[in-house]
Structure 1
Amino acid sequence: MKEGNRESKLSEDSSITLSSDTDVSLSSYDEDQGSKLIRKAREAPFVPTGMAGFATIVAYRLYKLKSRGNTKMSVHLIHMRVATQGFVVGTMTLGMGYSMYREFWAKPKP
């Protein structure tokens, strides 16, 4: 009796069909890296700004490394880390403020 119930339950489970979406867009897989970067930069403009600022500050501080004078290497590296972190956190804060503005205040009233 138990096996009969088990078989009927299995047949019920196998008759269940999963819904299939045929409208799934795979356009994001067809993009090359350049167009994907441009699309992401349009969606979140502060991300590439933060990355560019980070790279600029690191490059500048590494250039200034040779003229650091009597400053210890560890102090110079700490200053570089604080400057880059400050820029990235500031950019993230501006980006969040911008997205909040677009989402809550810049929406047209229905």
Structure 2
Amino acid sequence: MALHRFLQLSSMLRATVNQTLRRNIGLSAVLFNRAKELDPVQKLFLDKIRDYNTKSKTSGGIVDAGPSYQKNMSEEVSKLERLYGGGDLTKFPEFKFQEPKLDEVAK
């Protein structure tokens, strides 16, 4: 009985150690890959993406949009408002459907 209990504890210990080692090796591989120096082109690409992300969060819209872009945008919005009767063009329209009135037919 004691041998059976010992083998059971031994297999549980082995499984726990195995799982812990797999986690540590997996974590070490991720950290090693991050610490490794990137290719200069990859580094430049990632830097530009991070820079654009930062600028887009601070500007709240299109990055580096000059006054000509803003002017064209306002002209297009005013054209659309004239064509479609105004309203908020940045919001999805709400549709209202009425139930049809049906007359009962006598047999």
TM-score (norm 2): 0.31
Higher helix proportion: 1
**Which structure has the bigger radius of gyration?**
2
TM-score (norm 1): 0.30
Higher relative contact order (CA 8 A, sep 6+): 1
